[in-house]
Structure 1
Amino acid sequence: MLRTFRNTLKEQIPLYIFVTVLFLMGVVFGALMVNALTLEQQQDISRYLGDFVTNYKPGGMQDAAGFWSIALLNLKWLGLIWILGLSVIGLPGILVLDFLKGVLIGFSVGCLIGEYTWSGLLFALVSIAPHNLVLIPALLVCSVAAVTFSLNIIRSRVMLRRHGSMAKPFMNYSLMVISMAVIILGISTFETWVTPVMISWVAPILEQASTASTL
């Protein structure tokens, strides 16, 4: 069992490297997108961030409804990866999702740093980084599992190698996704009840930075 796991992991290392690099490329692209915004768009984002910091209340999302809102958003992303992995044509979609996730994070961090410089970086480290340190690896693990399963479909069906059954690979693939879903529920709990408290510690610093920039 352990030897099989090690062999599988060794075979998947190139895929892990590939999806990780793709995600990081998305982060860089998202950060660079901030510089491509028009002046009006930058002002809109600045106004939105300023309103968020000024009116932020840490108890706003710290309830069951807030938890399920965050959890369902993350689980939908995971479920989409799982569905795309069930078909050959879904293979490019998995890679696009990994890239887009990187773009979203890179753009968010880039906006905060562009607006508040070092204070924005501190805010990003508190509000974006903690839960994503677990969420992103979970999504990348599922992406690798989805790509692997999709490639198995290509080998067993498209290339007419029909002697192997897909039942066991499908079960392994689905169990992997379910285990990552449990982890995502755990990190959603952190994001619901712990992250808002951490944000409340840093929000006054951003408010001061925002006030100083308008003077």
Structure 2
Amino acid sequence: MRRTWNETIQHHMEEHLSLYVFTTVLFIMGIVFGSLAVGALTVEQREGLLEYLMHFFNGLEQGAVADASTALKHAAAHHLKYVGLMWILGLSIIGAPLVVVLIFLKGLVIGFTVGFFVRELSWNGLGFVFLSVFPQNLLIVPAMIIVSVASIAFSLSLLRNRIIQRRGAIYPQFVSYSFLVLAMACVLVFASFFEAYVSPSLMQTVAGKLGMVWPLFS
């Protein structure tokens, strides 16, 4: 069974290799644009974000972190809504371009976050992001890319079967598509557990060791 599952994944990757390359490049472009957007911030916007970080890091030092169960609900809801939207878009012929936009925006957010921390905190900011944000994204980002590829591929299949060829059964592909999205949703729920129960402790530890307090911003 395990071998069959591995072969299925390998076949899926090989069949949609061009889409994986495309979405990965698009995601990286989002990261690049997000990091460049940091330089376009006005002084007022920069000061507002720094003030928010001041309260955030002071709260970490004092042990004021969100309740883990509440954080889990918020993180899981956010990820599942994102994936659910991709799944719904994949069920329509015109959904593929919107899925492309979503994966680009995902990279944009990550690029902006990393870029802002590095720009304002230099190596301290990079260390904070690497240890407190990067680990869960090792699961989140690949899962999002897989779902985006599956959504685009299914949308293109709808286009071929319903508009161009006007034939062919789509139900088996729909089942495979939905099963893959469900599997990635489970991965995202697991990442949400890490994000809710492990990341806060890492953030407290890193913030304390690096001395990330308000004087560092001034």
TM-score, structure 1 normalization: 0.93
Residue 192 of structure 2 corresponds to which residue in structure 1? 188
Identity of aligned residues (%): 40
1:118 correspondence with 2:123: yes
Partner of 2:65: 60
Distance in 2 of aligned mates of 1:158 and 1:35 = 45
Q: Deviations over 1:103-149 (max 9, x none)?
A: 00000111111111110001111221110111000010011111110
Of 122-131 and 55-64, more deviation after overlay is shown by 55-64
Distance 1:59 1:141 in 2: 35
State the superposition RMSD in angstroms: 1.8
Q: 1:175 aligns with which of 174, 179, 185?
A: 179
| Structure 2 segments unaligned to the other structure (5+ residues) | none
Contact residue 16 and residue 149 of structure 2 kept, 8 A: yes
TM-score (norm 2): 0.91
| Residues 120, 217 of structure 2: 8 Å contact kept | no
With over 3 angstroms needed to count, the CA separation of the structure-2 counterparts of 1:11 and 1:211, relative to structure 1, is same
2:92 to 60, 66, 87: 87
Counterpart of 2:165? Answer: 160
Q: Which residue identity is paired with 2:187?
A: I
Q: Is it true that 1:99 corresponds to 2:104 in the alignment?
A: yes
Q: For the residues of structure 2 that align with 1:63 and 1:50, how far apart are their CA atoms?
A: 22
Equivalent position of 1:133 in the other structure? 138
Assess if the C-alpha contact under 8 Å between 2:86 and 2:99 holds in 1. Answer: yes
**Which letter does structure 2 place at the counterpart of 1:133?**
L
Q: Distance in 2 between the 1:11 and 1:145 partners?
A: 11
Aligned to 1:16: 20
Instruction: Tell me the matched-pair count.
Output: 213
1:143 aligned to 2:135?
no
1:179 deviation in Å?
Answer: 0.5
Shift of 1:31: 0.3
Which of 53, 64, 77 is the equivalent residue of 1:72?
77
Aligned equivalents of 2:189, 2:9: Cα separation in 1? 25
Structure 1: 5+ residue stretches without partners: none
Note if contact 1:54-1:207 (Cα within 8 Å) is conserved in structure 2. Answer: no
